[in-house]
Amino acid sequence: MILLLVAVALKSTAQELNCKFTVNYSQIQGTSTQVFTTLENALMEFINTRRWTQAQYEVNERIRCSMNLTVKEYNEADGRWKCELIVQSTRPVWQSGYQTVVFSFKDTDVAFNYREFDPLQLRDNVIDSNLTAVIAYYAYMIIGLDMDTMAPQGGTEVFRAAEDIVTAAQNLGETGWKAFDSSRNRYALVS
């Protein structure tokens, strides 16, 4: 009886993403490595425990993806980070035992403020952290593209959520969100 209850609980609460998050800080010298590990764990929890949509996923149906944040610059005094983010998602090939890539993108312009143990929060209609905005944006892109592989325009509603983040994040003053910043930025990708 207890196993049945646990199985039902796991089945009903499975989130959409099964993301492996890595923070690569090999280019940074002379600082404690604990902040990088703390950020990596916080981001892994942020992306994997949040329900991004109302869609129901079984545990084994969660979308496999990875995000690799390469730290290019880190200013410990003011908590300012400049990074590259590589995002990739895969899905199983029908009636086979292997995965195929659905989405692969390198965002070379990810800058944010983060101090160790800062909470990572995302509130509806409020974007106050470039870090959580970027991660949420790519979570929606991954889910939307995965849904598009299931049905024509299946991810349209999820892409609208990504567009909402782009619109709200323009007030942050960070690059990558505006129409004329680049032809390969977040705005251009969702458009």
Asked whether 63 and 146 are in contact (CB, 8 A), the reply is yes
Between 69 and 1, the more confident residue is 69
Give 14's pLDDT tier (boundaries 50, 70, 90): low
Please, what is the average pLDDT of the chain?
A: 90
Strands 99-113 and 63-75: unpaired
pLDDT in tens, 140-175: 999 999 999 999 999 999 999 999 999 999 989 999
Instruction: State residue 95's pLDDT score.
Output: 82
Give 180's pLDDT tier (boundaries 50, 70, 90): confident
Instruction: State residue 8's pLDDT score.
Output: 43
Instruction: State residue 3's pLDDT score.
Output: 39
Q: 111 has which bridge partners?
A: 82
Alpha-carbon distance of 21 to 48, in angstroms, equals 10
Cα dist from 178 to 163, 175, 187, 189, whole Å: 11, 7, 6, 11
Q: Is the pLDDT score of 2 beyond 70? A: no
Residue 143's SS3 state is: helix
Cα dist from 128 to 74, 91, 135, whole Å: 20, 32, 13
Alpha-carbon distance of 50 to 31, in angstroms, equals 31
